[in-house]
Amino acid sequence: MSTDLIGLREQIAHGSTSAQAALEAALRQARSPVNRHTFLSLDEPAARAAAHGVDALRAAGGPLPPLAGLAVSVKDLFDVHGQRSTAAAKALADTAPAAADCTAVARLRRAGAALIGRTNMSEFAFSGVGINPHHGTPANPVTAVLDAHTARVPGGSTSGGAVSVATGAVWAALGSDTGGSIRIPAALQGLVGFKNTARLTPTDGAVPLSTTLDTACAITRSVRDAVLLHEVLSDRRVTLVHRPLAAYRFAVPATLMLDGLDVAVARAFERALSLLRDAGAHIDEIALTTIGQAAALNAAGGFPAAESWAWHRKLLGEREAMYDPRVAVRIRRGERIGAADYLDLQRERAAWIRRMDDAMRGYDAMLSPTVPVVAPPLEPLVASDDAFFAANGALLRNPALVNFLDGCALSLPCHRPDEFPVGLMAWSGALADDRVLDASLAIESTLRASCAAG
């Protein structure tokens, strides 16, 4: 069976397998012990109906829909008709079932996805670590193979979504990315995570974290699957030029994004850059000092604090005891952000984006490590607030800059099979999505060829 969605779709189209057979294999994985904390609920009847419909369509000689009845998971903050959207929080456990699919889910369903279930996540999407004290924390299945004695974090906030892809329970996972919540778990589990320009995908019918930064997007197993999922979710065609690597100009920003890399990340990232240069890519290291200004602009908590407080303040006042205290304390930072401060932040962000765009001009994309560390061990972060917040800050540091930029970014694996997963992030400013996807296809092809050769 193919290792990515597009390849399996082709097999279904040619009759070498069926959507129903692929779905049953996925459901077996979803119910397996490795996915003990991955799903909050499964919807097997609806998924089987979708797969059956695709097989019937093929038997009748009709064209297959883009997602071909294949398994896709849904992060627990997106509305699915008849299901509760709890954002994996106890405080929303009794919320009313959704009256309709949100737009992102409706587009997946229309494209023929078999929506098999709702995935676990960091409560209210407010963490890059992936720990959930209410529903358990999904195990990182990739690091468990390399280090069976140490449970490591899955990354968040789309923790269950990433695990569902990594374990073969689904072929793609619908998630959200506000400061890296798609790219962080993708990087820590050796997957592909594409955060598109936020305005290109609707976020209606989703529990918000930051209405300014939230992005609806997906985790997949390959860049070509990422292109397909983006086309479905954004309801637009991606224009791919398929240029050779020698036609690209990349830059590696030195300011902040290369600080504090652990040995495994530094080794994998430098090796990847060397392989890309050998394949003809033009790669400059640049200072891009404007990056360093973002921390001061967000020192009070930024948009996530201000906008989450606006959404949560009534619920938090009534049910704070049900919240993860580590989430509640970050939401409450928004209490101290006044209207004038919020408007100042909007204005200062717009000016910072203009400076960043000017500094990046002439390059097709920036290249950075997605996160500076490999997946940290889980238990120390459960036990210590200090350790948790330090790890959370490290994991969010690089990817969150792209959200603040209103940009787009794709994380893809750059490690070898015997190494802990490491992500390389190709990124740029707003509406450069097609260029970043095109470049990522060329990068992925070069890195995969190197792994296959050696």
Whether residue 248 contacts residue 356, with contact meaning beta carbons closer than 8 Å, is answered with no
Distance CA 429, CA 432 (A): 6
16 tagged catalytic: no
**Dihedral, CA of residue 62, residue 67, residue 70 and residue 72, to nearest 10:** -150
Peptide bond into 157 cis (omega under 30): yes
Distance CA 58, CA 52 (A): 10
Annotated active-site residue in 157, 368, 411, 450: 157
Q: What is the 3-state secondary structure (H, E, C) of 198-263?
A: HHHCCCCCECCCCCCCCCEEEEECCHHHHHHHHHHHHCCCCCCCCCCHHHCEEEEECCCCCCCCCH
- Classify the C-alpha dihedral 346-104-409-424 as positive or negative: positive
Q: How many CB atoms lie within 10 A of CB 336?
A: 12
Spatial CB neighbours of 222, under 8 Å, sequence gap ≥ 6: 3, 4, 5, 6, 192, 444
Distance CA 197, CA 193 (A): 13
Annotated active-site residue in 18, 122, 127, 181: 181
**Residue at 198: amino acid letter:** A
Annotated active-site residue in 18, 75, 210, 428: 75
157 tagged catalytic: yes
**Which residues are known catalytic residues?**
75, 157, 181
